[in-house]
Amino acid sequence: MSKNLVIVESPAKAKTIQKYLGSDFEVKSSFGHIRDLPKKGMGINLQTFTPDYEVSADKKKLVAELKAAAKKAEIVWLASDEDREGEAISWHLAQELKLKEEQTKRIVFHEITKNAILKAIENPRKIDQNLVNAQQARRILDRIVGFEMSPVLWRKVKTGLSAGRVQSVALRLVVEREKEIRDFQAISSYKVEGTFINNEKQEISSKLKKDFVKETEAEAFLNQAQNTEFKVLNVEKKPGTRSASAPFTTSTLQQEASNRLGYNVTNTMRIAQRLYEEGFITYMRTDSVNLSEEAINGAKSQIISEFGEEYSKPKKFTTKSASAQEAHEAIRPTDFSLKSVPDAQQNKLYQLIYKRTLASQMANAKIEKTVIEIGNKSLPQHFEAVGEVIVFEGFLKAYGIVKNDDDDAEDNSKLLPKVNIGEILTYKKIEATQKFTRPAARYTEAGLVKKLEELGIGRPSTYAPTIQTIQNREYVDKREIEAQTREYLKLTLTKTLKKEILEEKFGGDKNKFVPTDIGEVVTDFLTENFAEILDYGFTAKVEQDFDDIANGSEKWKETLQTFYKDFHPKIEDVQEHAERANGERFLGKDPKSGKNVYARIGRFGPMVQIGEQDDEEKPTFASLMANQNISTLTFEEALELFKIPFDLSDYEGKKVLVGVGRFGPYVKWGETFISIPKGMDPFSVDDEHAIEIIEEKKKTDAPITNYKGNPVTKGTGRFGPFIKYDGMFINVPKRYNFENLSQNDIDELIEAKLEKEANRYIQQWPDEKISIENARWGPIIKHGKNIFKIPKTKSGEKYEVEDLKEVVLEEVKKWITAQDKNAFKEKVKPKKAAAKKATAKKKATPKKK
């Protein structure tokens, strides 16, 4: 057995580190945290704010193995990541493995290279309790907020919802931006552009220095320009420079990977984690732009050898954020001589990091900007043509230029022809085009990360999980927003003045965050009732409190007590006094029945309702389409929804209808549900369209082959590509070519699935809907859709599979009843009268539009 045991949090990291250490070291992984707050219940003593940590069932075997290895080792080296989360992992390991202080050493490194690891081993330290306490404070505060606010949402909005300290604030940003866009009133102006020709018959594109508010002003200017002699009034050349950006922090990497590579923040962090663990880059969770002297020198050598001495300009960057830890480094390559890595996806991100770091140590780009002023003293405004020439590429040689959505659309990179002051130019055309102001853009993932960082909300490790959470909760999505059409006026002066009324698309969007109806209702409710918790300044202050705990200037339990003494009474007050929220909007009165029409959140999502809950005749309901929103739905659109479902002519002896369900509009043919293609209006589906949709489905579902005489079909569902055989859906992993599956591939997939299914059941009682099954972490009991644990034997041992094969049904029922006393009781449906009584307390009243 090795004298030294090194524990890291990732198996990939363990594998890389093991390469650099000799046989005296054994490297093991904890696979992240070995213990945490319990999944059920608060798990916190709210008098003392003492957490009740527990080792999860799936980690108990691992912990036993680590304990055994630690007992045999002379020294245990805790080598988890250098941030607060990593420090907490080391602390939990020390606590749970009962490590003695004298035999425990904490080491950190921000790159997994031989030199970094050996240097860390030469400079061990103790566990930093301040960092641990900062992590505990965040974990406990977030648990308190989630556990106390979420049940309020269940009672006041809809069951199954969740709230979170940072996620709710991120959601608020998206909702407020959407409301800003919705309320935006576009203002038009007339932008004038001119194309002039010099003596050499070369064209010069230019823009008038002033926009006109009114059409009459623009037209008057063009009339005045019609017979004007245009001259070059001035030519000015201005030298300029462009400097490189700082090396990457976590947030800037997420933003640039989104803009340049199209990666979402979760994928960026997953790939960066792999690059770090395999030793290619430094630690990827950092808010520092600092580079070590070693890195600066490494970059310098590479720049000189690849580009030349004149391209090298070493520099140090300082972080503007007061909370940044300058002892840490920016994200950079560990070896500048390594220009690429083997994995194609990893290499794209590696190249981005490599080039950004190299560029940060290169000379400024030198540019020459030329401005030509064109006009006549008789005109109130003059034209300006701007061009740019790169004189010396500098850092652009490595990094290039990329324009983002938010950048100015102007492109000044064109080269202008040579002209002289006083030279007469003729106009080819002058256009005055009506342009409309645009609202602020919806957030992309990169844009939301940038905004969270600007506001001081969250830290490098929290951006990706926060953004993923609001998507997983279905509070936001990236549905496509259809563009609208509007008219605009264009005045064109050539030899004569021509007016045209043209059309343009506006307001369309895709791959941007749009709040769902439930996301808006939740935000409105929380903002109204928990204004302080959702306040941007308050959330940023809490982050600062965590930073103060980390540097030892604040005590963590006192911080939690201060928060909770105001927070908990507010929870009780809201539970007691706040009204239910469902985003209800009164839209008008149904012309047929005279009843009120509402749009609101219902049990299954956004819907329209005709009638009141406590009317003698039950209300009627219709689901909203995927592209519709409670806040913007019109009365006319609402009434249209009640035309669905509608019947079409039978096809091949089966009934056909068009309907809308949880997953959008569909055609139902017999018992088969077929999604209507994206973008197709379900109201436009007639017999002809329905037959096309059905035939396409038949073609898709046609057998691709047979297995033992039974047909095999294939398709793509919510969870990816699959084949279907004998009622079973079998996922097709990426290693198979789904478009070109061979018979061998299909046989292999089906046989693997059949073998898995054969080994799934230890015992089955189909009539009772009870089974004992093999699961990932051991045998379980299933009753309907519910899962139950298998108790231990009388002697305290786990049941062996062979023993479970002999257990009788009555014994299994006892095990289930012990965990759920109502499992076998008949469920009595509530009487309608009782339901009416419950809803009769509040009579819905029309609200103003």
- Active-site amino acid positions: 283
Radius of gyration (Cα) for the chain, nearest Å?
33
Phi then psi dihedrals of residue 139, to 5 deg = -60, -45
DSSP code per residue over 635-692: HHHHHHHTT-SEEEEEETTEEEEEEEETTEEEEEETTEEEEPPTT--GGG--HHHHHH
Question: In the block, which residue shows the tokens 């706040």?
Answer: 578
Q: How far is CA 38 from the centre of its chain?
A: 26
Q: CA 285, CA 331: separation in Å to the nearest integer? A: 8
Angle of helix 129-156 relative to helix 556-577, nearest 10 degrees, comes to 0
Q: How many CB atoms lie within 10 A of CB 157?
A: 21
DSSP state of 111: B
Q: Is 583 left (phi over 0), alpha (psi -120 to 50) or beta?
A: left
Q: How far is CA 767 from the centre of its chain?
A: 44
CA distances (Å), 420 to each of 232, 233, 304, 424, 767, in order? 7, 9, 41, 9, 95
Q: Residue count of the chain, please give it.
A: 849
Phi then psi dihedrals of residue 649, to 5 deg = -70, 145
- Asked whether 315 and 361 are in contact (CB, 8 A), the reply is yes
Q: How many CB atoms lie within 10 A of CB 749?
A: 21
Q: CA 277, CA 113: separation in Å to the nearest integer? A: 10
Question: In the block, which residue shows the tokens 């245009």?
Answer: 230
Q: Give the H/E segment covering residue 296.
A: helix 293-306
Q: Return the C-alpha torsion angle 114, 116, 119, 123, nearest 10.
A: -140
Give the CA diameter of the chain.
106
